[in-house]
Amino acid sequence: MKPFKSSIYWRLLLGFCLANLLVLLLGGLLARGFIAYTTEKEIDWMSLAQGANQAYDSGGMTALADWSAQQRHSGIEATLFEDGHSLSPIRMYPSVARTLPNLLDTDRSVVLQLWPGIYLAVQQVTGRDGKPRQFVAQSHIHARLAPQTREKILLAVQGLLSLLFIGLVGWWVARSVARPVQALRDATRRMAAGELSTRVGRQGGLIHDELAQLAGDFDAMAERIEALVSHDRGVLQDLSHELRSPLARLHLILDLAQRSTDAAEAEPYFRQAEQEIIRLDRMTGEMLALSRLEGGIPGMSREPLELAELAADCMRQAELEAGARQVNLQLVAGEPALVSGSVLLLERALDNLIANAIKYSPAGGRVELAVYGGKTLAELSVRDYGPGVPEAELESLFRPFFRGSNAKRADGHGLGLAIVQRVVQAHGGEIQAHNAAGGGLEVRLRLPIVMADATV
C-alpha cells in the first residue's frame, strides 16, 4: 500500500500540522501574557526621562537619537520635547499624537493607558541650561524586560506549548488507532477461545481507514468461519443420524448370517450386507463432495462449455437407467448457452437432477430437459411427471438429508439436490424448484453466460 493513499498517514499528518498551528498562534499570545503578568519589572519612567535628558545634554540630538534606538529594541518609543517640538524622531499612533499636545500643556508628569495594550508617559525634566523639557514615551507594555530574557521566555513557553499540543494530538491519534487494534485483539482471543459469534463491529465512530477495513474483513472472516463450522456440525449430526439405520441393518444382517447353519443359508445375508456397504460408501462419498462444495471448492478449474452439449451427454448416460424404469427422456435446446465452470462438477449436478427425476417418474412417464441461452444467463430445467413435492416442503428441498413425504417410495439419502445447489452457487448461479402445472416437479437453474472469446 502506498503511504500517501493511507488515511492513517493523512490523519497523523493533519494532526501534527494542527498541533504546530496551535503552537504558532497561541504560543505568542500566551508567552506575552506570561511575560507581562509574571516576570517583568515595572518601567521606571522617571529614570528613563533622566537618561534621555542626560544623553541630550552630553551629545545633543545625535546622542538622543542613539538612546531612542536602544529603547526601541525594548519595545519603547521615547524622545524629548522642547517648546512643543520633538528633539528626535518618534513613531506614534495618530490618536496618541492628537492627544499629546494637551498633555504637554499641562506641565504635569502622567502615565496613561490610552486603551488596552497602549501606554503613554509624559515626564517633566530640566536641562543643564535650565530649559524645561518633556520626556514622552509610548509603549505596548507597562513593564520592562531585557530582550534576551524576553526571547528565552518566549521560546520556553512555545516549547512547553508545543509539547502540550503534540502530546494531546498524539494521544488522540494513538487512541483512535489503539481502540480498533484492541478490539481486534479481544475479538481474536474470543475467537480462539471458541466464541465463533464474536464480531468487532464499527470502531472509531465515522472513521473509515485501514483499521476499519481490517475490522470489516475480520467480521466477514468470522461470519464465514461460524457458518462453515455450524454447517459442519449440522452435517455431522445429520450424518451420524443417517448412518445409524444402515449400520443397524448391517449389524442385524451379519448377526443373522453368523447364526446360519450353512453357506447357502448365509449367502443372501452377505449379499444384503454388501448392498448396505455400497450404500454406506455412496453416502460417505456424497457427504465428502458436499463438504468440499461448502468449503468453497479451492482450486476449482474453469473452462468454457456448452450447456446444451453437457445436458445431452448426461442424458445419454442416463438412458440405461431410464430404460430400466420405462421412462422416456426428452431434450429441448434453444439458443447456444456458453457458460464457464467445472465440467466434472456441472456434470455431477446434472446427473443428480436427471437421476432424481427418473427416480420419481412413474413407469411409462417422461423426463424433460430444456436448455435456453439468454443475454446474461443460461437456463436449464429438468421436469418429471411424478407426484411432485408438497408446497410446505419446497423450501427444505435443498437441505442436506431432507427427504420429503413423497420420498419414501424411492431410495436415497437426501443429498443429491443439496449437492446440486452447492455446485450452482459455486458457479455464481441460482436454483429453484416448484411444482409444475399438470403435475410433477420442475427444477430450474440459471448460470452466468460468458462470451465465446472469453478467456478463463
For 370-379, give one letter per residue: b (16+ CB within 10 A) or e: bbbbeeebbb
Q: Strand 366-373 relative to strand 328-333: parallel, antiparallel, unpaired? A: parallel
Amino acid 65: pLDDT: 92
Q: Is the per-residue pLDDT at 268 higher than 50?
A: yes
Query: What is residue 80's predicted lDDT score, i.e. its pLDDT?
Result: 93
Give CA 82 to chain center in angstroms: 78
Q: How confident is the model over 118-137, as pLDDT tens digits?
A: 888 999 999 888 889 999 99
Closest CA to 138 of 178, 173, 92: 92
Range of weakest confidence among 65-69, 356-360, 442-446: 356-360
Q: DSSP readout, 118-175?
A: EEEEEEEEE-TTS-EEEEEEEES-SEE--HHHHHHHHHHHHHHHHHHHHHHHHHHHHH
Output the pLDDT for position 149. Answer: 63
Residue-level pLDDT at 205: 45
Model confidence pLDDT, tens digit, residues 162-186:
777 777 777 777 777 777 778 888 8
Residue 228 and residue 295 in contact, taking contact as beta carbons nearer than 8 Å: yes
Residue 84 CB contacts under 8 Å (≥ 6 apart), including other chains = 101, 104
Q: What is the mean pLDDT of residues 7-21?
A: 70
Domains, the chain, with CATH or none: 3-37+150-185 (no CATH), 41-144 (3.30.450.160), 216-294 (1.10.287), 303-448 (3.30.565.10)
60-69, 98-107, 158-167, 363-372: the lowest-pLDDT one: 158-167
Report in angstroms the alpha-carbon separations of 161 from 154, 166, 182, 356, 357.
11, 8, 30, 80, 82
- Band (206; pLDDT cuts 50, 70, 90): very low
Q: Under the phi-then-psi rule, with left for phi > 0, alpha for psi from -120 to 50, and beta for the rest, what region is 415?
A: alpha
Residue 54 has pLDDT above 70, yes or no: yes
Query: Rounded to whole angstroms, how far apart are CA atoms 279 and 296?
Result: 26
pLDDT tens per residue, range 213-235: 788 888 888 888 887 787 677 66
**Angle in degrees, 0-180, between the axes of helices 343-359 and 307-317, rounded to the nearest 10:** 50
211 and 9 Cβ atoms separated by less than 8 Å:
no
pLDDT of residue 227: 78
* pLDDT tens sequence across 362-421: 888 899 999 988 888 999 999 998 888 888 888 878 876 666 656 555 555 566 787 788
pLDDT band of residue 265 (cuts 50, 70, 90) is confident
The residue to which cell 499540543 is assigned: 165
Which one of 39-48, 234-243, 282-291 scores highest in mean pLDDT?
A: 39-48
The partner residues of 144 in beta bridges, in order of sequence, read: 41
Instruction: Report the chain's mean pLDDT, rounded to a whole number.
Output: 79
Q: Which residue has the cell 481507514?
A: 209
pLDDT-derived band of residue 443, with 50, 70 and 90 as boundaries? very high
The three three-digit cell numbers of residue 122, written as one number: 509624559
pTM over 0.85: no
pLDDT of 455: 45
pLDDT band per the 50, 70, 90 thresholds, residue 288? low
Strand pairing category for 143-144 and 85-86 = unpaired
Asked if pLDDT for residue 452 goes beyond 70, the answer is: no
With a cut of 50, say whether residue 456 has pLDDT above it: no
Rg of the chain over CA atoms, in angstroms? 48
Mean pLDDT throughout 321-342? 86
